[in-house]
Amino acid sequence: MIRAYLLHAGAVHFPIALLFTGWAMAAFGRRWDWTVKASSALLWLGTASAWIALGLGLLAEKTAPHVPSAWQALERHESLAYWTAGAFTALSLWRWRRARVGEKTFLALWLAACALLLATAFEGGELVFEHGMGVGSGPN
């Protein structure tokens, strides 16, 4: 039997890595022209991967072994995931349209979205490590 909920556990690392790396590149690599394009690509790929992770999270919610004590944390995690994906979608559209706004403002908003991403990750960690969501009792 395929344990589809495990796909979420693998996918969540991509938005974290791509979006934090993209922010760092945009913030600290401005002296090289190629970093602007690269950081934008990381933002767009990270945003797409955030939506994929969210979709796989919804699948995980339906297929993972149920842990009644985790429902409140699961709802917080899901809500934060939607806010996070939405925030990065807004930033991606902003970058794509090349809106005329100060780069410092854009980087500050990107960093705030990264904080939201981190909060989402911590909630996910709570689900696994404190409530045992998706953790089996051993080989069947």
pLDDT for residue 139: 44
pLDDT for residue 59: 92
pLDDT for residue 98: 73
Assign 140 a pLDDT band (cuts: 50, 70, 90).
very low
What confidence tens digit (pLDDT) does each residue in 63-119 have? Answer: 888 788 888 999 999 999 999 999 999 999 998 887 666 889 999 999 999 999 999
Assign 1 a pLDDT band (cuts: 50, 70, 90).
low
Cα separation, 87 vs 109, whole angstroms: 9
**Structural Rg of the chain based on CA atoms:** 17
Q: Is residue 94 a contact partner of residue 61, using CB atoms and an 8 Å limit?
A: no
pTM (predicted TM-score): 0.88
Assign 29 a pLDDT band (cuts: 50, 70, 90).
confident
pLDDT for residue 99: 64
Q: What is the mean pLDDT of residues 128-137?
A: 79
> Domain boundaries in the chain?
6-129
Class of the 6-129 domain?
mainly alpha
Cα separation, 88 vs 44, whole angstroms: 8
Given a cut of 60, is residue 133 above it in pLDDT?
A: yes
